[in-house]
Amino acid sequence: MQEQEKQNKIVSMFDDIAPTYDTANRVMSMGVDKSWRRKACDLSYGFYAKDSIDKIVDVACGTGDMMDFWKKRAETNGIAVGEIVGVDPSKGMVNVAREKFPKFNYHISKATQIPLEDASADILSITYGIRNVVEREAALVEFSRVLKSGGLVVILEFMKNENPSFLGRIRDFYMNKILPKIGGFISKNLEAYEYLPNSIESFSTVENMKKELESAGFEVIYSKSFSMDISTLLIARKK
Q: Which helix (H) or strand (E) holds 18?
A: helix 2-29
Using alpha carbons, list the distances in angstroms from residue 239 to 147, 173, 187, 199, 236: 10, 39, 42, 30, 9
**Can you tell me the distance from the alpha carbon of 96 to that of 105, in angstroms, rounded to the nearest whole number?**
13
Is 88 labelled a binding residue?
Answer: yes
SS3 at position 136: helix
Using CA atoms, how far residue 216 sits from 26, 73, 132, 137, 171, in Å, is: 33, 28, 18, 7, 31
* 205 carries a ligand binding annotation: no
Query: Taking the mean position of all CA atoms in its chain, how far away is CA 165?
Result: 25
The DSSP symbol for 177 reads I
Q: Give Cα separations from 61 to 12, 98, 105, 108, 157 (angstroms).
A: 15, 11, 11, 10, 13
Report the C-alpha gap between 22 and 61 in whole angstroms: 13
SS3 168: helix
Q: Which residues line the annotated binding site for S-adenosyl-L-methionine?
A: 63, 88
Give binding residues as ranges: 63, 88
